[in-house]
Copies of this chain bind each other. A is one copy, B any other.
Amino acid sequence: MKPIAPSPGINRRGLLATLGLLPALSVPLFPASAPAQTAISGGLPSWNDGPAKQAILDFVRATSDRSSPSYVVPEDRIAVFDQDGTLWVEHPMYTQVVYCLDRVPDVMAKNPELKNREPFKTVLSGNREAIARLPLRDLEKILAATLSGMTVEEFNAEAKKWLEAAKHPRWNRLYTELAYQPMLEVLRHLRDNAYKTYIVTGGGQDFVRVYAEKVYGIRPEQVIGTAGGTKFAYAGDGKPYLTKEPKLLLNDNNAGKPEGIHLMIGRRPYAAFGNSTGDREMLEWTAAGAGARLKMLLLHDDAAREYAYGPAHGLPDTKVGTFTPALYDEAKRDGWTVISMKNDWRRVFAFE
């Protein structure tokens, strides 16, 4: 089906949200040392002993032990996780943005008249610095052209194919291999204790759903993300199909996260994990509930094994969603737990 060109009525906020916005591209890319697969023995083996690991174990025990004053009935056990920078690597560029940029040549093949038009011309040039400098309105056009106008099945097939081949420039690994091993253990530990685990991401809901079950053990219906509308119609043979539309239904960033949680889950979570100001409202909403609530923020302070950015670190901020000093202060003031990647994680990736 023909991709839909951005229309004047297009929702700007939505597209920015779908995009997730580009983090800075100035991070030096270098290959990691030779990987080695390691077996997992249950619990949280990739965590070092310390306050972060302890906070997780204490919370799970307190809410699942029937004799505990903080006991939570299993049907209310909801845990929510931001994705980019919380469950997997978000530098130097959100994976979905890389996907959209990579899709541009395909879109051009179907719409050759766009070839000499900006921003597609710049994307086709392959000049990463120029691409990083593209203004947001241009990125919106790229999103509209690459994430809508196809059936939901076509989108899923295209995204799946890309994810099975595209590699992160630093590690030369599939993006799906760049999930954080310690967080995969937290997801499993929570599920082992009857928690229902959800992703609540500013990224595109349909995109993340393509791989969430395989990578995180999270089914599509437990992925909440920035979501566009679809349109039901009939093909010539009378068979119905759904087309992805460039129309925003949910901007799942900032206040959109608790709003999205209400829309899709209808209950307040007991545990929330994030890493940036885009997750602030979700953590505040979680924290405002009665009883034991787990509020965790991941601090990227490990330039050697991953990246270092956020409070007191040198890397330039992402355009949105930064772990600002103000967020750090709020976390400290309100008793949220800050995870230090450098100190709290024994291992970052499964392949290490």
A contact set with B: CB distance below 8 Å: 75, 152, 196, 205-206, 209, 213, 219-221, 223, 227, 229-232, 239-242, 249-250, 255, 258-259, 262-267, 281, 284-285, 288
> Smallest CB-CB separation from A265: which chain B residue?
B221
Q: How far is the CB of A205 from chain B (nearest CB, A)?
A: 8
Residues on B with beta carbons closer than 8 Å to the beta carbon of A230: 259, 262-263
Judging by beta carbons under 8 Å apart, are B227 and A267 in contact?
no
Main secondary structure of the interface of A (DSSP, over half): mixed
- Which 8 interchain pairs have the tightest Cβ spacing? A220-B266, A232-B255, A221-B265, A209-B266, A240-B284, A230-B259, A232-B258, A230-B262
Q: How far is the CB of A13 from chain B (nearest CB, A)?
A: 13
A213-B75, A240-B285, A284-B240 known; A266-B229 Cβ under 8 A: no
Judging by beta carbons under 8 Å apart, are A240 and B152 in contact?
no
A75-B213, A232-B285, A285-B232 known; A249-B221 Cβ under 8 A: no
Q: A220-B267, A249-B263 are known; give 9 further A-B pairs, CB within 8 A.
A: A75-B219, A205-B266, A221-B265, A223-B266, A232-B281, A240-B285, A240-B288, A241-B288, A264-B264
Q: How far is the CB of A263 from chain B (nearest CB, A)?
A: 6
Residues on B with beta carbons closer than 8 Å to the beta carbon of A240: 258, 281, 284-285, 288
CA distance A250 to B152 in the complex (A): 18
Judging by beta carbons under 8 Å apart, are B281 and A239 in contact?
no
Q: How many copies of this chain are found per oligomer? A: 2
Residues on B with beta carbons closer than 8 Å to the beta carbon of A249: 249-250, 263
Q: How far is the CB of A323 from chain B (nearest CB, A)?
A: 20
CA distance A220 to B266 in the complex (A): 6
A-B contact pairs, 16 of them (CB 8 A): A152-B262, A205-B263, A206-B266, A220-B265, A221-B264, A221-B266, A230-B263, A231-B259, A232-B259, A241-B288, A242-B262, A242-B285, A249-B249, A249-B250, A249-B263, A264-B264
Most B-side CB within 10 Å, residue of A223, A263, A285: A263
Residues on B with beta carbons closer than 8 Å to the beta carbon of A75: 213, 219
Residues on B with beta carbons closer than 8 Å to the beta carbon of A223: 266
> Smallest CB-CB separation from A259: which chain B residue?
B230
> Smallest CB-CB separation from A212: which chain B residue?
B266
Judging by beta carbons under 8 Å apart, are A259 and B229 in contact?
yes
Q: How far is the CB of A299 from chain B (nearest CB, A)?
A: 23
CA distance A209 to B242 in the complex (A): 26
> Smallest CB-CB separation from A283: which chain B residue?
B240
Judging by beta carbons under 8 Å apart, are A239 and B288 in contact?
yes
Residues on B with beta carbons closer than 8 Å to the beta carbon of A221: 196, 221, 264-267
Residues on B with beta carbons closer than 8 Å to the beta carbon of A209: 266
Judging by beta carbons under 8 Å apart, are B258 and A242 in contact?
yes
Judging by beta carbons under 8 Å apart, are A259 and B281 in contact?
no
Residues on B with beta carbons closer than 8 Å to the beta carbon of A281: 232, 240
CA distance A284 to B262 in the complex (A): 29
Q: How far is the CB of A103 from chain B (nearest CB, A)?
A: 20
Q: How far is the CB of A225 from chain B (nearest CB, A)?
A: 10
